[in-house]
Structures are given as C-alpha cells and as structure tokens.
Amino acid sequence: MSERLLNDRLDWNLLRTFRVIGQELSISRAAARLHLTQPAVSQALKRLEEQLGRQLIARRGPRFVLTDMGEQVFRLAGEVYGQMSQIGGLLEHPGDELVGKVRLLMISRIVNEAFDDLLAAFHRQHPRVELEIEVMRSSDIVAALQEKTATAGLSLNRRAQTRLEQRLFLRQRYAFFCGRHHRLFGEAESDLQRENFVSFTSDQIGGMLSPLAIFRDQQGFAGRIVASSPSLEEVRRLVIAGFGIGCLPEHVVAPDVQQGLLWKLPPLDGIADVDIHLLWNPGQRFSRAEQVFIQTLQQCTTEAGR
C-alpha cells in the first residue's frame, strides 16, 4: 500500500488501541483500561495489522511480545496520540478567559491537605478549566508523560526520567502494620522476621518501592509474600484482612489506626521514606490552562523542598 493511500485509510483509533495493548502487553488488561470487550480489542489489533500488512505481536504461549515492527509502531503511536491530544490548546487565545482541559495522572491514595487546598483555589480562580484525574501505576505515568499524552503526573520516582522534569512533591514515611485479625494486633513487642507479608508489586529491588525491599533484606526477613497488588488501597485491604503484615504510608492509614483497623508494628519510627514527585514533559506543547496548572502544582513542591 502506498504511503499516501495508507495515510488516507488508516484509522487513528486503531493506533490508540494498539498503544494501550503495547503498554499492557495483555488483551484483557487493555480491554479493561479502554472499557471495551476483549474481542473488540483483538479485532482492532487484527485490523491494524491488516492495514499495515505487518505482524505487530508475537505470541509466547498465554503471553505475547511486540515484534520489531510492533515496537516501532508503538513508539510512533505514542507520538501521534500525544500530538492529537494537544489540538485543544490551539483553540485558545491569549486574551481569553482561561479555559481548556488538564489531565493529571496520579498514583492512588495521595493524602495531602495542601494539595487539596491548592486544587480548590485553582478551581475557584479558573472555573472553566476541566480537570481530568486518572489513577495509574507509576511506570504507566512515566510512559504517558514521555509520550506527551497528559499534562503532569504525581508518581513514585527513584531516578531522573528521560525527557521529564521532576520536583519533590511529598515525602511519605512507611511503617509496618498488621490488621485487627492478625495475631500481633495489640502487641507492644513483636519479632517480625518470620512473619509473612503483603507486598506492593513494585516492592522489589530496582522497583519504585525498593527501599522497602532493601530494608527487609538487610534485616534478614524470612517470611514469604502471601498477597500482593500494585494498588495501595488493595494492599491496605489485604493487611486489614489479616493476610500478613505490610508496609504502608503512616499519614495515609492514620485514620485506620485510630479506628482500630490497623496496628503499627516496630520499629515505631518507621522503616523508610518514599518520595512522590511531580513530573511533566518540558518538550510538550502545553495549553495556557496546562501551563498555569503546572505552575500552581509547583507551589506544593516548593513547600515539600523546605
């Protein structure tokens, strides 16, 4: 197919679907994220491969990987989708009231009163700006910002990311907790080294929450992982249910401790600080609304850095 004919006939929605497939490496997870059925996502992939005349994925049993062509199309799809998402900014005029859409990506359960007050003040000052917030994994937030498909992100981030600016947004102190159904609930002194635990999926050496894994390794913890999740909310639920002990941010679960759902375990001064960063892509063409929103968010980073 000629380049001109391909450009005229290519369905850009297929590229968007393939972009999510490439991020998730799973038809079922891509379907859930796109709010589509699995057959619809599979059919979209098939149609795109037919239009391009190339195989984009190679199956490995129940899993699959992107082919070399698939990797190239995935990168280009991210760039195309990023440019398409910026069209709204072209419709604004400098003299107009601030209008537009801001897309903020966040990890789950960010509890910060200053952040809440900042959002309230921004909305009062710019009521015509639409704010879309999506909860995602840290790795997906970084990928989306690199592809220029979101305004900014609040993410766990242990090292500088290619093409992204970052500022410290919030420092969270993590400590061990057990739920009310656990045998250590209410105990003042506890030996945790042989206790089974609930883990974040990024709680591993090299992961976003590796300080937690490093602490357990240094202390010689011998218990096994009995449950895990990428979601703070679900790890909290599993710890409360008594599956095992778990590391959770102190200020987030403070109400659970007060209500008798969780019990803080030693060491009482906590085990590690984990930082949440504000991230954005300086190479992205932002609308006026997005520029003002990022500047506003940096007020929180200024406070965090003091």
Question: Letter for the amino acid at 95?
Answer: G
Strands 272-280 and 197-200: unpaired
Task: Report the SS3 class of residue 73.
Answer: helix
Q: How far apart are CA 47 and CA 52, in angstroms?
A: 9
Tokens 């929180």 identify what position?
300
Burial class (CB in 10 A: 0-12, 13-18, 19+), 247: buried
Tokens 């069209």 identify what position?
87
Burial class (CB in 10 A: 0-12, 13-18, 19+), 47: middle
**pLDDT on residue 306:** 46
**pLDDT on residue 223:** 83
Residues of the chain with pLDDT under 70: 1-9, 61-62, 81-96, 202-211, 213-214, 217-218, 302-306
Question: Letter for the amino acid at 55?
Answer: Q
Beta carbons within 8 Å of 12's beta carbon, 6+ residues apart: 80, 84
Is the pTM of the predicted complex or chain greater than 0.85?
no
**pLDDT on residue 260:** 96
Q: For the residues of 208-247, what is the DSSP string, one character each?
A: TTHHHHHHHHHTT----EEEEES-HHHHHHHHHTTS-EEE
Q: Give me the domains of the chain, ranges plus CATH numbers.
A: 3-84 (1.10.10.10), 170-274 (3.40.190.290)
**pLDDT on residue 305:** 45
Beta carbons within 8 Å of 48's beta carbon, 6+ residues apart: 11, 14, 15, 17, 18, 56, 73
Long-range contacts from 268-273, C-beta under 8 angstroms, 24+ separation: 268/175, 270/173, 270/174, 270/175, 271/174, 271/175, 271/176, 271/211, 271/212, 271/215, 271/247, 272/173, 272/174, 272/211, 272/212, 272/214, 272/215, 272/247, 273/171, 273/172, 273/173, 273/174, 273/211
**pLDDT on residue 2:** 45
**pLDDT on residue 216:** 72
